[in-house]
Amino acid sequence: MSRAGSRQAKSRKQPTVISWRFAFVVLSVSAIFCTLIARAAYLQVVDPDKLVAEGDNRTLRVKSDDALRGMITDRNGEELAVSVPVESIYADSKVIMENNVVQDQRRWHALADMLQVSPEDLKKKIATDKKKRYVYLERQASPAKVDYIRKLKIPGIYFKQEAKRYYPSGEVTAHILGFTDLDDHGVEGVERQFDKVLKGSAGRKVVRKDAKGREIEVLEETGSTPARNLTLSIDQRIQAVAYRELKKAVMTFGATSGSLVLVDVNTGEVLAMVNSPSYNPNNRNGVAVHRFRNRAITDTFEPGSTVKPLPVMTALENGTADLKTVIATGNGVMMVGGRRVRDTHAYGDQDLAGIIRKSSNIGVTKLALNMPHEDLLKMYYGMGLGDETGLGIVGESPGMLRERARWSDHERATLSFGYGLSVTAVQLARMYAAIGNGGVVRPLTLIKQDKAPEGIRIVSEQTADSMVEMLESVTLKGGTATKAVVPGYRVGGKTGTAKKAIAGGYGDDYVGSFAGIGPISSPRLACVVIINEPTGDYYYGGEVAAPVFSSVMGAAMRLLNIPPDGNDSRITKVAGGPDAG
């Protein structure tokens, strides 16, 4: 065969098997394809949760519908606490570092100056770690600061809408209202007690968005619970007068502190509650923590002579004495259980009204010793001493009234004139409110009431009315509180001057107090004034606390349009009487 024929024969030959190269490619592609199918099946059928989560991270968004915190007003609609919209400033470190913002020194230094930090500290905080995607620079910043920083147009600096609590009355109502923290949660006072009511609950909506950020599906939606406004029993007009007069007395007598509580005797509504010193809840920077406490409900003291109406009423109720009973108080000194009980003066023979008017320790001691001690304790407990008042504010103290099986004569004696127990200003106010309303003890409240709550009758109306008349005599000529007189109105009350207990006995500091009722013809208000540790020569309750009562009670009765039941000529007759506690 020729060479040409041989070539033609070879060209006509066809391969009988697949070449190994083609087989390798086919097998490789098949293996890859099978692997992909297996992987897809595993991810989508066997273990789809991870992919679902990744997809949700890219497409699901949760929207919240935050509501402003409810407003707090006084009984007349005067705003006491409101929420105002503000903005907070925050940074995204990743964006800041990617845009190399720190190198723009002019804007970086301007930002640091507005935030009152050094550029170096600001860099350490937000420009050293890309993982910090949300760093607060300032919460609830002032509008001027936000506007300035916004104009800097710094990449990675953002603003978030928030709400800030504002208290128009400042330090006047600070201890009642309390305040909220940066996250709008109540921390003290009414803000804490009614936090859930004032805050409500935010709405929530879960939506799915596409790659362009458009909302394509609503997956879940929960409606918001709107915040509710709160109307307090406080009368801001009276509150302002009370704070002014109390603060003036604390400063005048160099006292450590003071408290005042004014209560509607028929409803138990607190119309005013103030403490001095106070603080500004709108700016608490540098304020000592102890200034935040509401002394009227937290601080206890031995009430002294302000509880003397209780043994007198107990004697009237159990029949061991009547209005005509005369008690021999002698020369002002009496031995009880081997110890002396003293009066400030020798008062001789006194009826029950005289014992209250002169504030005789010996008089109430003899009444207490002439009755079963269980009766006296029942009266103390019934009037709410040793128990909370119903206000419900966190931190309220129940005071102290000791339970014991046996009482010595001296312990019974000291209990009758206000030693050996401790009370708060609000407890004393509730006690005098019960005397003023005819003998019914009601819980106190800081919320405006449409009707009087149910109470518990502790003494008969006749006994309570008799005590009201006796209390008026304290403010008349010869009583211990002529400085408590209110021009045009009949008022009554009881002074208290108690030494403060120290380790091992009693020190040289006093608590001067006055608790009273007005107007006498138809009691409407009960007021308690506490002046803690007055310095100087004046420390008797009739000197330091009674004048505050006069000013506040007079203003309150006029503001509430209570008709006068006295006359000014009566004031002239009683002025100048002795003022002892």
Per-residue pLDDT of 101-112, as tens digits, reads 888 889 999 999
**Domain annotation covers residue 202:** yes
pLDDT of the residue at 576: 36
State yes or no: pLDDT of 536 exceeds 70.
yes
**Domain annotation covers residue 245:** yes
Longest dimension (CA), the chain: 166
**Domain annotation covers residue 169:** yes
**Domain annotation covers residue 446:** yes
Domain end residue (candidates: 231, 260, 278): 231
pLDDT of the residue at 7: 55
Strands 72-73 and 79-91, bridge-based pairing: antiparallel
pLDDT of the residue at 502: 81
State yes or no: pLDDT of 57 exceeds 60.
yes
pLDDT tier for residue 161 given thresholds of 50, 70 and 90: confident
Q: Is there a single domain that holds both residue 248 and residue 208?
A: no
- Percentage, residues of the chain above pLDDT 70: 88
**Domain annotation covers residue 93:** no
Higher pLDDT, residue 264 or 450: 264
Q: Is there a single domain that holds both residue 287 and residue 210?
A: no
**Domain annotation covers residue 213:** yes
Q: Is there a single domain that holds both residue 267 and residue 248?
A: yes
State yes or no: pLDDT of 200 exceeds 90.
no
Lowest mean pLDDT among 55-64, 135-144, 148-157: 55-64
How far is Cα 360 from Cα 348, in angstroms, rounded to an integer? Answer: 10
E strands in 309-458: 326-328, 333-336, 339-342, 349-351, 400-401, 421-422, 440-441, 456-457
Work out the mean pLDDT of the chain and round it to a whole number: 88
Domain containing 214 — which CATH number? 3.90.1310.10
Average pLDDT over residues 266-279: 96
pLDDT of the residue at 13: 54
Terminal-to-terminal C-alpha distance of the chain: 150
Q: Is there a single domain that holds both residue 271 and residue 181?
A: no
Assess whether 224 carries a catalytic annotation.
no
Q: Is there a single domain that holds both residue 192 and residue 248?
A: no
State yes or no: pLDDT of 1 exceeds 60.
no
pLDDT of the residue at 2: 56
Q: Is there a single domain that holds both residue 465 and residue 552?
A: yes
pLDDT tens track for 427-475 = 999 999 999 999 999 999 999 998 988 899 999 999 999 999 999 999 9
Q: How many CB atoms lie within 10 A of CB 487?
A: 13
Given 93, 233, 276, 305, the catalytic residue: 305
Average pLDDT over residues 203-210: 70
Average pLDDT over residues 327-332: 91
- Measure the CA angle with vertex 62, ends 61 and 66; round to 5°: 145
Q: Is there a single domain that holds both residue 223 and residue 352?
A: no
Q: Which two tokens stand for residue 198?
A: 């004032």
Q: Is there a single domain that holds both residue 273 and residue 214?
A: no
Q: Which two tokens stand for residue 47?
A: 């273990």
Q: Is there a single domain that holds both residue 207 and residue 250?
A: no
pLDDT of the residue at 440: 96
Burial, 517: exposed, middle or buried (Cβ in 10 Å; 0-12, 13-18, 19+)? buried
pLDDT of the residue at 5: 55
State yes or no: pLDDT of 346 exceeds 70.
yes
pLDDT of the residue at 130: 83
Domain containing 569 — which CATH number? 3.40.710.10
Domain tally, the chain: 2
pTM of the model: 0.82
**Contact (CB, 8 A) for 443 and 389:** yes
Lowest mean pLDDT among 71-80, 470-479, 512-521, 563-572: 563-572
Instruction: Name the residue among 229, 172, 264 with its Cα closest to residue 449.
Output: 264
Q: Is there a single domain that holds both residue 376 and residue 331?
A: yes
Please give the residue range of the domain that contains residue 76.
Answer: 64-82+162-231
How far is Cα 198 from Cα 226, in angstroms, rounded to an integer? Answer: 9
Q: Is there a single domain that holds both residue 326 and residue 199?
A: no
State yes or no: pLDDT of 10 exceeds 60.
no
pLDDT of the residue at 402: 83
Position 526, amino acid: A
- According to DSSP, residue 45 is labeled I
pLDDT of the residue at 199: 86
